[in-house]
Structure 1
Amino acid sequence: MNYISAENISKSYGDRVLFQGVNVGLDMGQKVALVARNGAGKSTLLDVLMGRDMPDTGKVAMNNDINVAYLAQEPVFKESETILEHVLNSDTPILQAVRHYEEVLEKQLHDTSEKALLALQKATERMEELKAWDAEARVKQVLGMLKLEQLNQPVSALSGGQRKRVALAKVLIDEPDLLVMDEPTNHLDLDMIEWLEQYLERSKLTLLLVTHDRYFLDRVCDEIIELTEDGVYRYKGNYTYFIEKKAEREAQDAASVDKAKNLMRKELEWVRRMPKARGTKAKYRMDAFDDLKEKAHSGKREGKVELSVKMARMGKKIMEIENLNKSYGEKLILEDFNYTFKRRERIGIVGKNGVGKSTFLNILTGKEAADSGDIDYGETVVFGYYSQKGLPKTDDKRVIDVVKEVAEVIPMADGNQLTASQLLQRFNFTPEQQYAYVSTLSGGERKRLYLCTILMDNPNFLILDEPTNDLDLQTISVLEDFLEEFPGCLLVVTHDRYFMDKLVDHLFVFEGEGIVKDFNGQYTDYREQLLAKEAAEKKAEKERKAEQKEKKTEVKPVAKKKLSFKEQKEYEQLEKEMEELEKEKEVLTVRMNEGITDHEELVSISQRIGEISDLLDEKMMRWMELDELT
């Protein structure tokens, strides 16, 4: 069944053509990723497919019989809504019932009036009627995994990362037929990403997503759509397959372009020899020449980022940390942290959101003060700090002016010098883009410009906080190549597991409560060790329970002691009393469900039912003791 199809769609903004002549289709059950360089229009294409934007040409058709959910890169909210109101804002009767039940339950905690009790009773009956308890459990699972706990908190009070997680929770809870997501792993910690990965991998929904997370692409998607200036290419396989086939295609294209160039040289000689007054009989040769010219120049269309800067000299002493402490109120971030950095160290930082990873980086770079402890810096250390905040407010500036504010001329690793314009060209900013305002850049292009300004200072100690967010796969790959050859120190916080595995030698693991452990190995090694430890603990627990069960069965039966006359009478009396209490409880329960209007009577009945339950438990325990002796 076809879910969505787009025919010959194009989109431009002014003179800038994002894409043209694009044909895309999506069928039931497919899990497809859309990849392209920054600024190629990935997010715009998703908006067009979802009907949030109109194409300049072509048409988009969506199946009207399916439920569609869209996670935008920058989700839109009603600022007055709470988290609970947003995630359960649905036309589905079951989710409406869950929302009403949760709201009534929350109110009942603070309001024990008769009206509140009746409202809870009705909400519970509606949940029973719709068999909505499984849906409620799923809602709580999703919210719990995404660390969304204060459900009455207004959306307006949330950070950007929290807002993205709230939006993600909503689209997952809706359980759509078609789920479209733009960078779903941004602002998630590694545990959340791995949970989401498994959730989508097991789910039967149809999926279209944009992401730079290569492990995520590899494990979740079974098809890749690549959007290029030449058109759309489809690859029936995961990310690994895509890389292999893309390399083959580019090699074939390069060979074809080289062949066209050789043929063009011959045609060019012919064109130059032709008399100026050409006859119509040579028109086919001129048309062929134009085709060859276009083919010969086709290999130059897609620019490539080039990272190469001169690194400041680094001395023997880098940075020594002694007894570093930091907390916010009762929340402990660092407790007596000690470390001595060595030359060319490559460290990854992992831990759940909120444990203090970014705070740690801010302390190292002097942007934030520690509560106590010492940091002794080497005299030659030059930090390059790429923070999550990105570029300062520069929307009203032109791209080239942002770079010139740092330096007019930039020394390179090979001894040459580049002007600001030449450096921007290496970062794949065309002359036209260099004189455009920063406000016109895509999210990934802004991040690329920010990276350019960081590297211009020629740092020898790079600190990167989520450097791959919003960057395209090509730029990430170039950045990885640059960092692999970077001779200075590297400290990385990232949820991109592929990026971390490729670059770091060991990890600082932030476990919370001020504990930071040094793990010798890559992230995948760390996760495998954790999983092995969890499996070993489960196995040990299973063996312990089996051993206890075996010991219990091996215990020889003790000769039973006969009941005394008094105990026999008590035993018989307990049976009668429990039977009477059960009947009384049943009568009171029926009375309570009849819709009592007298608040005092309702409270009295409720208290008596509680007393009966306690008495039954007490009498049942005694009855079981005596029953063992009969």
Structure 2
Amino acid sequence: MILSCSNISKAFGSTEIIRHASFHIEDHEKAAIVGINGAGKSTLLKIIIGELAADEGEVVISKGKTLGYLAQHQELGGDRSIFDEVLEVKRPLIEMEAKIRRLELDMKHASGDELENMLSVYSRLSHEFELQNGYAYQSEVTGVLKGLGFTEEEFTKPVSALSGGQKTRVSLGKLLLTKPDIILLDEPTNHLDMNSIAWLEGYLTNYDGSVIIVAHDRYFLDRVVTKIIEMDSGNLAVYQGNYTAYSEKRAMIRDAKMKAYLNQQQEIRHQEEVIAKLKSFNREKSIKRAESREKMLDKIEVLEKPAEVNDEMRIRLEPNIISGNDVLTVRDLSKAFGPNHLFNHVDFDIKRGERVAIIGGNGTGKTTILKILNNLLPADTGEIRLGSKVHIGYYDQEHQVLHMEKTLFNELSDTYPNMNNTQIRNILAAFLFTGDDVFKRVKDLSGGERGRVSLAKLMLSEANFLILDEPTNHLDITSKEILEDALNSYTGTVLYVSHDRYFINKTATRILDLTGHTLVNYIGNYDYYLEKKELMTELYASDPSGNQENGAEAGASQTPEGSEVKQDWKAFKEEQARIRKRQNDLKKTEDEIHQLETRDGEIDGLLTREEVFTDVSRLMELNKEKEEIQTRLEELYEIWETLAE
């Protein structure tokens, strides 16, 4: 055990944020802290690192172990370049290297005992330098910066000129390179594109130390963590497994609690009815029985009703008019900012009922496409045609559709003047704004709160074509699940930009990958995209013309031209099928081996018991079973070796 939190409590004023929370982290363990916004996740991290004092309880870190912490927002400054800022983490190695070089020069002019002493120091330093990977520290810095999405051209940029998101990435790079025993990360994926998130997943999964993450990226949590620490209404619960396992267990526990609550309520009602009936008999014996039952009823510890799942926020999106089948047609779309060409000659169509996700790296132009579609930016070339009866509802991540000086109440009442005060308050309440919250100014809201106001306006718009730019930014997991359900039941058409892979996987019916200055089309969700990505990028994104009708399609009727490409495509599909079958056979073999080895161990334990080894027939029976297990295991080991090869 490397970290232990025991009986931690924390309150701000009369609001109790954390109540008697206890958990521990093992060496090399990867854990996530989850909960709705405001549950106290960041507060708990700050208590662990000592930035905040707990009202009660203690945090114990194993002796000699180091902590590294990345907050959500970073304040980096100075004139150092990105590369030099991150390289500063390696200052001890840089100084050691300088000392080694000085010794090399000094040894040329030394002799006798002085030379012997210098050689001894030189040997020790060189050995230490090699142990700390000193000969590769510059390439290590380069690898981390590239992994976090910086290009080599950006390495020379001064830190003072960076955006908040870029500064967070620089700070994350510095933290990873310091290699503390315990890394604590608060929303590390917020400013990363998909490629960088995938890189960080691999880095943290293979990280030699322990990791504690606060994140709302469920795909990321599924791949990195093996323990979930849930914070809910001040209480803390620990679940083993990744996010999906936690979600399933939590649902099962909640169902069991709800069943117990309903059964108890039914029993209470039954007893109350019996008591009332006995009293109605108006006989001394009956009244005594009724009083006895009342005493029993008073002693019952009444169970609290479990909170409804996803009852915090209510979204119902529904168009007021059905559009034509052709919702959007885009032809020959191009956009550049100076010498930076984002995309060239892009064509794509959107049909009614589709939910299309645009994905791609940071800076490729995804948001730019949405802004062009909403007339917020001009295209350099191209034609955009909306279909019959198409009405757009737009959600932008910068919330430019909101008026910063207005109150929430006025924001809705001015946009929808036909709504009365009660209707406006009800809508805002559905998005968690109650009481005097409705008179807050938009400029005073957090990013997540502004997102909820934008969603409220979107819901009221009754649009039949929703264009959404990063709709899940600043939303907690519960709110994301609510939005997923709303979009999946929406009968209109959706086009959105997102880097939330779990959200894309749940909602998208088609993916447009903006890569190589063009759109590559995948007819499926994110899992399908991952399966086909390598092949499709190789086939299409490298096309210098960048001119594919409707984008390059995966899984569509437009089969790639040329017999060689067709054969490659067929061979690729066949190889994928072979790999899946081999993986399934391997897993079945491993499962059977595990079961038999477990049973073999159980038999060994039984054979040591007196009641077994003195019972001849039982002894023979177990020995026979053990022989059969050994024979089968020999067969399975050979099968496993063949499959594994």
Same fold (TM over 0.5): yes
Maintained 8 Å contact 1:72/1:181: yes
TM-score by length of 1: 0.70
Task: Name the CA distance, whole Å, in 1 between partners of 2:237 and 2:502.
Answer: 24
Deviation at 1:315, TM superposition (A): 2.8
Q: Deviations over 1:410-467 (max 9, x none)?
A: 69xxxxx971222233234454755667678665444333322332222221122222
Corresponding residue number in structure 1 for 2:468: 464
Structure 2 counterparts to residues 445-524 of structure 1, below 5 A: 445-512=449-516, 514-524=517-527
Task: Name the CA distance, whole Å, in 1 between partners of 2:230 and 2:308.
Answer: 18
Q: Deviations over 1:304-350 (max 9, x none)?
A: 32211442313315333232221111222232223333211221112
**SS of match in other structure, 2:319:** coil
Maintained 8 Å contact 2:5/2:57: no
Deviation at 1:67, TM superposition (A): 1.9
Query: Given the superposition, is the C-alpha separation of residues 297 and 144 from structure 1 closer, same or farther in structure 2, using an over 3 Å criterion?
Result: closer
Maintained 8 Å contact 2:359/2:511: yes
Corresponding residue number in structure 2 for 1:200: 204
Task: Name the CA distance, whole Å, in 1 between partners of 2:403 and 2:311.
Answer: 24
Maintained 8 Å contact 1:320/1:341: yes
Asked whether 1:356 is paired with 2:365, we answer: yes
Structure 2 counterparts to residues 69-88 of structure 1, below 5 A: 69-88=68-87
Deviation at 1:394, TM superposition (A): 7.2
**SS of match in other structure, 2:356:** strand
Structure 2 counterparts to residues 553-592 of structure 1, below 5 A: none
Task: Say how many residue pairs are matched.
Answer: 499
Corresponding residue number in structure 1 for 2:611: none
Corresponding residue number in structure 2 for 1:369: 378
Maintained 8 Å contact 2:254/2:306: no
Asked whether 1:153 is paired with 2:157, we answer: yes
Corresponding residue number in structure 2 for 1:141: 143
Task: Name the CA distance, whole Å, in 2 between partners of 1:409 and 1:290.
Answer: 54
Asked whether 1:347 is paired with 2:363, we answer: no
User: Percent of pairs identical after alignment?
Assistant: 31
Maintained 8 Å contact 2:16/2:234: no
Asked whether 1:326 is paired with 2:335, we answer: yes
Deviation at 1:143, TM superposition (A): 1.0
Corresponding residue number in structure 2 for 1:227: 231
Task: Name the CA distance, whole Å, in 2 between partners of 1:287 and 1:154.
Answer: 74
Q: Deviations over 1:117-169 (max 9, x none)?
A: xxxxxxxx999982312222211111122233333422221123212211221
* Alignment counterpart, residue 395 of structure 2, candidates 386, 407, 412: 386
Query: Given the superposition, is the C-alpha separation of residues 54 and 430 from structure 1 closer, same or farther in structure 2, using an over 3 Å criterion?
Result: farther
**SS of match in other structure, 2:368:** helix
Larger Rg: 1
Task: Name the CA distance, whole Å, in 1 between partners of 2:529 and 2:427.
Answer: 38
Corresponding residue number in structure 1 for 2:106: none
Query: Given the superposition, is the C-alpha separation of residues 406 and 76 from structure 1 closer, same or farther in structure 2, using an over 3 Å criterion?
Result: same
Structure 2 counterparts to residues 45-64 of structure 1, below 5 A: 45-63=44-62
Corresponding residue number in structure 1 for 2:66: 67
Maintained 8 Å contact 1:258/1:296: no
Query: Given the superposition, is the C-alpha separation of residues 325 and 230 from structure 1 closer, same or farther in structure 2, using an over 3 Å criterion?
Result: closer
Task: Name the CA distance, whole Å, in 1 between partners of 2:97 and 2:519.
Answer: 40
Query: Given the superposition, is the C-alpha separation of residues 170 and 218 from structure 1 closer, same or farther in structure 2, using an over 3 Å criterion?
Result: same
Task: Name the CA distance, whole Å, in 2 between partners of 1:434 and 1:249.
Answer: 36
Corresponding residue number in structure 2 for 1:3: 3
Unaligned runs of 5+ in 2: 101-123, 280-290, 540-563, 565-645
Provide the alpha-carbon RMSD of the alignment.
3.8
What letter corresponds to residue 35 of structure 1 in structure 2?
Answer: V
Task: Name the CA distance, whole Å, in 1 between partners of 2:168 and 2:137.
Answer: 22
**SS of match in other structure, 2:19:** strand
Corresponding residue number in structure 2 for 1:167: 171
**SS of match in other structure, 1:314:** coil
Task: Name the CA distance, whole Å, in 1 between partners of 2:81 and 2:251.
Answer: 48
Asked whether 1:248 is paired with 2:252, we answer: yes
Asked whether 1:335 is paired with 2:347, we answer: no
Deviation at 1:211, TM superposition (A): 1.5
Task: Name the CA distance, whole Å, in 1 between partners of 2:512 and 2:538.
Answer: 23
Query: Given the superposition, is the C-alpha separation of residues 408 and 248 from structure 1 closer, same or farther in structure 2, using an over 3 Å criterion?
Result: farther
Q: Deviations over 1:555-591 (max 9, x none)?
A: xxxxxxxxxxxxxxxxxxxxxxxxxxxxxxxxxxxxx
What letter corresponds to residue 138 of structure 1 in structure 2?
Answer: E
What letter corresponds to residue 313 of structure 2 in structure 1?
Answer: V
Deviation at 1:532, TM superposition (A): 5.5
Structure 2 counterparts to residues 397-436 of structure 1, below 5 A: 399-407=408-416, 419-431=423-435, 434=438
Deviation at 1:32, TM superposition (A): 0.5
Deviation at 1:179, TM superposition (A): 0.7
Query: Given the superposition, is the C-alpha separation of residues 50 and 245 from structure 1 closer, same or farther in structure 2, using an over 3 Å criterion?
Result: same
**SS of match in other structure, 1:349:** strand
Task: Name the CA distance, whole Å, in 2 between partners of 1:55 and 1:301.
Answer: 30
Task: Name the CA distance, whole Å, in 1 between partners of 2:202 and 2:224.
Answer: 8
Q: Deviations over 1:489-511 (max 9, x none)?
A: 11121112221122222222212
Corresponding residue number in structure 1 for 2:34: 35
Asked whether 1:314 is paired with 2:313, we answer: no
TM-score by length of 2: 0.68
Query: Given the superposition, is the C-alpha separation of residues 220 and 260 from structure 1 closer, same or farther in structure 2, using an over 3 Å criterion?
Result: same
Corresponding residue number in structure 2 for 1:627: none
Query: More deviation in 433-442 or 24-33?
Result: 433-442
Deviation at 1:97, TM superposition (A): 5.9
Q: Deviations over 1:519-563 (max 9, x none)?
A: 333332232223467999xxx9xxxxxxxxxxxxxxxxxxxxxxx
Corresponding residue number in structure 1 for 2:191: 187
Corresponding residue number in structure 1 for 2:181: 177
